[in-house]
Structures are given as structure tokens and as C-alpha cells.
Amino acid sequence: MTTSIRDMQERGLGTTLRRDAWWVAPALTALVLGSFGLYATWAAWTGTHYEWGPYLSPFYSPLLQPSWWPLSPAFLILVFPLGFRLTCYYYRKAYYRAFFLDPVGCAVGEPRHAYRGETQFPFVLQNLHRFFMYAAVVFIFILSYDVYLATRWPVNGVLPAGTPVPGPTQFGIGIGTLVMAANVVLLTGYTFGCHSLRHLVGGGVDCFSCARGGQTRYRLWRGVSALNRNHMLWAWCSLFSVALTDVYIRLCAMGVIADFRIL
Ligand code: FES
């Protein structure tokens, strides 16, 4: 009697005929995404050490501090980048496999046999991705402005840890400026390679040359498609860069490391 892949899937979670290390990718994803989630929650919760000199952590940008808000200012803005990542097409695949084990891998038994897609609550909320994408594009401009601010240094020299830039400023570049700029580059590659953005600029037309603004849309679609080809890579690199930027600024603010002025 032969055993089909379908049979193995129906026998339950983890049953498979595969002989490769199919479990490594979901296990690594769970480890890295879980670690990032824990760190980001802690960093946002503390409400401290998120700025040093002209640097501002991306977890706290834009920095909103209304008097009526009793919690960390990060919680006022994190819903947008968090929602963008949680509803991202790539991350959905990654965390469905890593945390829900559904499916944990191709041709591997699943915890349930009926597939309902993303048509019911709460997964139907994944359809909000395009709206989070609009917000994410705005955040690229906000974080770019933060990089500009990170080039404005006080005319009187080095800042003590945790002190905002006072008085007149002049142009300067520190290691932190470069870290923040690299973060914006990686976030831009991730955001502008979004599947929803690709559909927005290139979807809904059968013929670019027949559509209004077709040439422009075609060029935009080509650009988004080029980034989209490596969307997974951009997703991971930008995830690391956001965390590392926060860590760098946090360590400077705590006085654990000293920022180095290049210019
Ligand atoms: S699909 Fe990944 S950011 Fe939109």
C-alpha cells in the first residue's frame, strides 16, 4: 500500500514524508521574530533612553508627548509600523508557519484540515494591509527627516548622554547618523517593494500604453517590482536595522558606548 502526501497531511501536525530539515526555517523564524517582538515591546514600554543628542530611536518617531497620555510615547505610533509588518504578505507566511504551524511546511501535516483562508475575524483584518502601507510611506518621510536632524549638532561640541540638542546647531555626522540613514534605506527598500504598492501602481490595467499616465505607471511598477523580487530579504534586513538603530541610540543614551563624530 502506498502513502500519499495527502494521507500524511491528514494524519496530523508534523506528519510528513519529507527527509530534509524542513523545520529549520520555521524554528529560526520563531526564534528571531519572537526575540524581536520581545525586545520591541520592552523598548517601547520603558519610555526611556530613546534619544541621545540629535538621534531619535525609530520606535519613538514621530515623538508625540501629549500631557494626557500616561504611557510611553512609543505606544502612540507603534500601531502603524507594527500593523504594516503584521499584515505584510511575506510576514504572514512566515509567522503562520512559525507560530501557528498552519501550515508548518509544504507537504507537512497541519493542525487542522479545513482551510478558511482569511475571510473571518480576526484574519480578515489582514486586508487592512494597503491602509497600513499608506501610513508606512509617510513614516519613510518622517524617518528621513530624523536623519536630517541627526546631522544637526550643537556648535559647542559634545553632548552629555540623554540631552536634547540645545541652541544653535551646525552640520555634523556621527556613527549614529549613518546607522539611522542605513535604517531608512533598508526600510525604504522594504516599504517600496510592498505587494500592495505594486498593485496600486501597476494593477487594474491590461495595457500600460493604453492607460492614462501609463508610461509613468509602468516605470513605477518596474521599480516596485525590482524591490518586490527580494521582499523577504528587505523585510528581514529592515527588521534588524530598526532594532539595531534603537539599540545603538539606547546604549549611547545610557552611557554604555560613546558615539563617534566623523565630521
Ligand atoms: S506585502 Fe510586505 S510590506 Fe506589503
Ligand 1 neighbourhood includes 89 CB (under 6 angstroms): yes
**From the CA of 132, how far away is ligand 1's center (Å)?**
9
The pLDDT tens digits of the residues spanning 18-67 come to 889 999 999 999 999 999 999 999 999 999 999 999 999 999 999 999 99
Whether 177 has a pLDDT exceeding 70, the answer reads: yes
pLDDT 10s digits, 244-253: 999 999 999 9
Q: Which atom of ligand 1 is nearest to the CA of 88?
A: 2
Q: Whose CA is nearest to atom 4 of ligand 1?
A: 194
Per-residue confidence at 8, pLDDT binned at 50, 70, 90?
Answer: low
- Please report the atom of ligand 1 found closest to the CA of residue 85: 3
Pocket of ligand 1 contains residue 239 by CB under 6 Å = no
Contact 227 CB / ligand 1 (< 6 Å): no
- Say how many Å lie between the CA of residue 155 and the centre of ligand 1: 42
Give the per-residue pLDDT at 103. Answer: 82
Average pLDDT over residues 205-217: 91
What pLDDT sits at residue 17?
86
From the CB of 196, is ligand 1 less than 6 Å away? yes
pLDDT for res 165: 60
Q: Which residue has the higher pLDDT, 183 or 156?
A: 183
For residue range 96-146, list pLDDT tens digits in order: 999 998 888 888 888 877 777 788 899 999 999 999 999 999 999 999 999
From 95, 129, 232, 234, mutation site for ligand 1 pocket: most ligand atoms within 8 A of C-beta? 129
Report whether pLDDT(3) > 60. no
Provide the whole-model pTM. Answer: 0.91
Ligand 1 pocket test target in 93, 196, 198, 225 with most atoms within 8 Å of CB: 196
**72-99 pLDDT, tens digit each:** 999 999 999 999 999 999 999 999 999 9
191 C-alpha vs ligand 1 centroid, how far in Å?
A: 7
Which residue's CA is the closest to the ligand 1 atom numbered 2? 88
3-state SS record for the chain: CCCCHHHHHHCCCCCECCCCCCCHHHHHHHHHHHHHHHHHHHHHHHCCCCEEECEECHHHCCCCCCCCCCCCHHHHCCHHHHHHHHCCHHHHHHHHHHHHCCCCCCCECCCCCCCCCCCCCCHHHHHHHHHHHHHHHHHHHHHHHHHHHCCEEECCCCCCCCCECCCCEEECCEHHHHHHHHHHHHHHHHHCCCHHHHHHHHCCCCCHHHCCCHHHHHHHHHHHHHHHCCHHHHHHHHHHHHHHHHHHHHHHHHCCCCCCECC
Give the atom of ligand 1 at the shortest distance from the alpha carbon of 129: 4
How far is the centre of ligand 1, averaged over its atoms, from the C-alpha of 24 (Å)?
23
Instruction: Choose one of 82, 131, 227, 231 to mutate for the ligand 1 pocket test, by most ligand atoms within 8 angstroms of C-beta.
Output: 231
| Amino acid 161: pLDDT | 47
Distance 169 CA to ligand 1 centre (A): 38
